[in-house]
Amino acid sequence: METLRLYDFLPSGNGYKIRLLLSQIGMPFERVEVNILKGESRTPEFLSKNPAGKIPLLEIEPGKYLAESNAILIYLSEGTEFLPYDRLLRAQVLQWLFFEQNSHEPFIATSRFLISILGKGDQYKEAIEQKHKSGYAALSLMESYLQTHNFFVGERYTIADIALFAYTHVADEGGFDLTQFPAIQAWIERVKAQPEYISITEESKYCI
């Protein structure tokens, strides 16, 4: 097998999902930094790899690319302990992954991007207020679920936890107050206690 190559941007939560999983699987990979703030994901060369102009992007073999962080998570976790084999449990993992991309990331990740990555919180004040409303709804739903569950699917750590952890644990960087969500905070600690955990801007030791 060719070495996997990950086109990535270190502060990105979507990129972090892949780095964290690869670290926990123990799979070597090459990381290529794409500075999205300098337009590096919008060059003709990068767009020829991913027409959507987004990272993370996984080069599975030379010239074969896979986009969308949660699709990459499923592809890489197939056959590992991080994706259940049981049909109904797998479906529940997928349910949370789509929830993350449709009801969580567009509000929680983008608030962090505007405030902490771009540093333009004042300029986008009104947009952020809108995003906070929907983002808090997503956090409340997670809080309620985690009051009676240790992890999101099958009471085991899976890629559903990785996908939701990526932007939830840094939601404060987007102006969200996590202190009102004790069950989420306890779950964050459970995720951080997993073997081979790495933090969001930490290089995996499997990164070559």
Residue carrying structure tokens 């080069």: 59
Contact 163, 100 (CB under 8 A): yes
Around Cβ 20, how many Cβ atoms within 10 Å?
A: 27
Looking at beta carbons only, is 67 or 198 nearer to a second copy?
67
- 88, 65, 16, 101: CA torsion to nearest 10: -50
The structure tokens listed for 52 are 């959507």
CB of 54 to a second copy, least distance (A): 9
Give, for 6, the enclosing helix (H) or strand (E): strand 4-8
The structure tokens listed for 196 are 């081979």
8 touching a second copy, by CB under 8 A: no
CA 206 to chain centre: 18
91 touching a second copy, by CB under 8 A: yes
Contact 85, 105 (CB under 8 A): no
Angle CA(52)–CA(53)–CA(57) in degrees, nearest 5? 90
89 touching a second copy, by CB under 8 A: no
39 touching a second copy, by CB under 8 A: no
Looking at beta carbons only, is 33 or 86 nearer to a second copy?
86
98 touching a second copy, by CB under 8 A: yes
75 touching a second copy, by CB under 8 A: yes
Sign of CA dihedral 142, 81, 28, 45: negative
71 touching a second copy, by CB under 8 A: yes
Q: Give me the 130-169 binding string for a second copy, x by CB under 8 A, dash otherwise.
A: -----------x--xx------------------------
CB of 129 to a second copy, least distance (A): 13
Choose, by CB under 8 A, the member of 97, 162, 170, 191 that binds a second copy.
Answer: 97
CB of 203 to a second copy, least distance (A): 25
Q: Which residue ranges make up the site for a second copy (CB under 8 A)?
A: 51-52, 60, 64, 66-72, 74-75, 78, 87-88, 90-92, 94-95, 97-99, 101-103, 105-106, 141, 144-145
